[in-house]
Amino acid sequence: MGRKFFVGGNWKCNGTNEEVKKIISTLNAGDVPSQDVVEVVVSPPFVFLPLTKGSLRSDFHVAAQNCWIKKGGAYTGEISAEMLVNLDIPWVILGHSERRLILGESNEFVGDKVAYALSQGLKVIACVGETLEQRESGSTLEVVAAQTKAIADRVSDWTNVVVAYEPVWAIGTGKVATPAQAQEVHAELRKWLHANISPEVAASTRIIYGGSVNGANCKELAAQADVDGFLVGGASLKPEFIDIIKSAEVKKSA
């Protein structure tokens, strides 16, 4: 057991050079629990990775928001896993719903990317989640299981994988999943890992929640047994990201 609380900040396609510097200085000044209690990873757009890595406090880590499915080469506009490794970027977010839905990334494509990134030594935040239509038709668990299976079919070592459950209807909408809704899917996902991979992987893999997390709702969500942290979008660009990181304390005292 002992799943360390994980808080990721996904900056998405936001920020100027000046804004990024400002966010970093706010993060650097933040009074947060120690690395033994919470793992913090922020994910700027590719172009700001070196700046962020170079000026961010050393107890926070950086992630890219995507990488290419295989070794680099003649793939205009893509960034390879090897390049991230070369720049000492330890993490990458893969399978975000914005890429699945807007750019048409399939479950299999995401699974291949996760496997390749891991094979190059990156750690992966793998995103899964249902659309509103899928939730309303009662297929939430089926959808997240299929997304997870496409990863599980290609990955044997889950040590460097964090699963982010991000219901699409809760992303950027201000419509956060209730703690009970989040807990239900997280528990089902963990059950799925238990049955289809191993009890050890189920017990040790962090399943984090994403979708309209903010400074006001994070504590109640963090208190749920199977919520091991957050992947934060909009609020990760604001000072309240520090409060979200602090919600790790809820877990510690639980």
Ligand X SMILES: O=C(CO)COP(=O)(O)O
- Binding residues (CB under 6 A) for ligand X: these are 10, 96, 166, 171-172, 210-213, 231-235
10 Å Cβ neighbour count for 17?
Answer: 10
Beta 60-64 vs 229-232: how paired, if at all?
unpaired
Q: Which is nearer to ligand X, 202 or 232 (CB)?
A: 232
Kindly state the smallest distance separating residue 212's Cβ from ligand X, in Å: 4
Kindly state the smallest distance separating residue 252's Cβ from ligand X, in Å: 23
Q: Which is nearer to ligand X, 32 or 231 (CB)?
A: 231
Q: 212: alpha, beta or left, given left = phi > 0 and alpha = psi -120 to 50?
A: left
In terms of Cβ atoms closer than 10 Å to its own Cβ (0-12, 13-18, 19+), residue 76 is exposed
* 3-class secondary structure, 13: coil
**DSSP conformation letters of 89-115:** --EEEE--HHHHHHS---HHHHHHHHH
- Residue 156: name the closest of 96, 114, 107 by CA: 114
Q: How far is CA 219 from the centre of its chain?
A: 18
* 3-class secondary structure, 123: strand
The answer to whether 122 and 92 have CB atoms below 8 angstroms apart is yes
Active site residues: 96, 166
When CB distances to ligand X are compared, the closest residue is 233
Q: Which is nearer to ligand X, 171 or 201 (CB)?
A: 171
Q: 102: alpha, beta or left, given left = phi > 0 and alpha = psi -120 to 50?
A: alpha
Kindly state the smallest distance separating residue 89's Cβ from ligand X, in Å: 17
Kindly state the smallest distance separating residue 156's Cβ from ligand X, in Å: 26
Kindly state the smallest distance separating residue 101's Cβ from ligand X, in Å: 11
Q: Which is nearer to ligand X, 202 or 210 (CB)?
A: 210
- Report which DSSP code applies to 3: P
Q: Which is nearer to ligand X, 84 or 213 (CB)?
A: 213
Number of H helices, E strands in the chain: 12, 8
